A and B are shown apart, each in its own frame.
Chain A
C-alpha cells in the first residue's frame, strides 16, 4: 500500500492552492485529478478577476492558473493525472482508479477534498436534446477546446456564470440571441451584465423557456413571460430560432466522496445545497478529512484558492509542521482575505451562510 501524509483530491484552484500550501509547510503531498491536465475550471475563466491586489484582481483566471502550475512544479508536488478517486475507506484509505486500467490504494494521514461542483439543470420539454447544455459546458467548449457549441445561442439565467459565459460566447464569435431570467431582476455583477448589454444582447427578466424543439438537435426555443407568482402567462409566448440553449442555473457542490466517507452533511441553499459540515479551518466532522473550494459551498475561483490555502495550512499544522504562533498569524491573514472576498451584496450572503455552518460545527 502506498502511503502519503497529505492527499489532495481535485487539482482545481482549491486543490492546487491546498497542495502548494501544505508542501511549502513541509508536508509530503500527493495531488490527484481525473483529468489529463490540472487546473479544474480555472483555465476556462478568461475574464479578469475581482477583489484586491492580494487576490490577483485584474488578472485573468487563465494566467492565475499558469502561475499556480508553475508553483506546483517548482515544489515538485507529486501529481497523478488521469486518476479518479472512487472511494474512501476507514476515513483515510483512498481507492484510486488510474487511466481506467489500474486500481491503487493510498493511505493518507490527511485528505483534502477539493472536488468542485457540477452545474444544475432546468427542466422543460426538450431540455435533453443535443444542443441544450450547461453554460459552463459551453464555456469549456469555447475557451478550453476552442470549438463553438453552436452559432445562435439562448442563455437561461442571468447570474454571474450566465453573463460571463454570454460575453465569452460573443468573444468566441457566437451570436447570443438573448438572456432569459425567471426572476424580475438580473442576478450577476453589474460590470459583467453591463458588458453584455452594451454588446446588444437583450435580457428577458420574468421570462423562462417553455420548451425546446428539434428532431435530433435543438432548432428553436419557446420563451414565455412569468407573472409575479412565477406562473407562465398564456399567450405571451414567442419562439426564437437557436441551435444551442445554455443553462446557467447555479451549481451543486460535488460532495459524494465526503458523504460516502462519513462526513456529516449540512444544507445551505445559499451555498448550493448539501455541503459537508466544516469549521473555519476547513475541517469536516471526520478527523482526517478537510475540504476546500466549491465542495464546501459554491463561490468563485478566488475564494476557492483562499480556502485551499486554509485547508493546506490547517492540515499541515495538524501534522505538526507549523508552530502555533505562525499558524495563528497565517490563519488570521487568510481569514481576513476571505472576508474581503465575502463582502458586497453577494459576498455578504455567502459569509453569513458560511458562519452559520461554522457555528453548527462547533455545536
Chain B
C-alpha cells in the first residue's frame, strides 16, 4: 500500500521535488530531496532501524523529533545518527545499527 500521502484535504497535493538515491543496507532506494532519513525509510516500508545493545531487539522511531534516540542508525560510517531529524543526501550510505554501531571508521574511543 502507498505510504506517501500524495493528496491531503488540508495540505493539498504533495509537491514535486527532486529525487535522490540512498543506499540502505546496500539496497538502492529513492528518497525526496530534503526529507528526513526516517521518513524516506518509512515511505519505502522500512521501520526497523536498529537492534538494541544487549538483546538485539528491533527498534523503530518513537518521538520523531530528535528526543528519544530510538531511531539511530549508521550514516556514512558514523554511528548514532538520529535519522528522524537528519536529511537524506544523494548517495548516502545508511545502515541498520547493531548495538552501539561500528566505530571502526572513526577515531578510536
A257 within 8 Å of B by Cβ? no
A97-138 interface (Cβ within 8 A of B): 100, 118-119, 121, 128-134, 136-138
**Residues of B with C-beta under 8 A to A132:** 60, 62
A254 within 8 Å of B by Cβ? yes
Q: Establish whether residues B36 and A129, one from each chain, have CB atoms under 8 Å apart when the complex forms.
A: no
A50-83 interface (Cβ within 8 A of B): 60, 62
Chain B contact patch, size range = 35 or more
Chain A contact patch, size range = 35 or more
Provided the pairs A146-B4, A148-B5, A171-B9 are in contact, do residues A128 and B57 lie with their beta carbons within 8 angstroms?
yes
Q: Establish whether residues A142 and B5, one from each chain, have CB atoms under 8 Å apart when the complex forms.
A: yes
- Determine the distance from Cα of A143 to Cα of B65 in the docked complex, in whole angstroms: 13
- Determine the distance from Cα of A145 to Cα of B78 in the docked complex, in whole angstroms: 24
Q: Establish whether residues B87 and A128, one from each chain, have CB atoms under 8 Å apart when the complex forms.
A: no
B67's partner among A62, A145, A216, A254 (CB-CB below 8 A) is: A254
Provided the pairs A46-B10, A129-B58 are in contact, do residues A134 and B63 lie with their beta carbons within 8 angstroms?
yes
Q: Establish whether residues A134 and B60, one from each chain, have CB atoms under 8 Å apart when the complex forms.
A: no
B74 within 8 Å of A by Cβ? no
- Determine the distance from Cα of A119 to Cα of B59 in the docked complex, in whole angstroms: 17
The stretch of B18-26, B39-47, B97-105 in contact with A is B39-47
Per-residue CB proximity of A135-168 to B under 8 Å, as 1/0?
Answer: 0111011110111110100000000000000000
Q: Establish whether residues A128 and B66, one from each chain, have CB atoms under 8 Å apart when the complex forms.
A: no
* Interchain residue pairs with CB less than 8 A apart (18): A34-B66, A34-B85, A60-B10, A130-B48, A133-B62, A137-B61, A137-B63, A137-B64, A142-B5, A143-B11, A145-B35, A146-B11, A146-B39, A147-B4, A147-B5, A173-B5, A217-B47, A217-B60
Residues of chain B touching chain A, judged by Cβ–Cβ distance below 8 Å, are 1, 3-6, 8-11, 14, 35-36, 38-39, 42-43, 47-49, 57-68, 78, 84-85, 87
The 8 closest A-B pairs by CB, nearest first: A130-B60, A137-B64, A145-B39, A118-B67, A140-B64, A130-B47, A146-B5, A147-B42
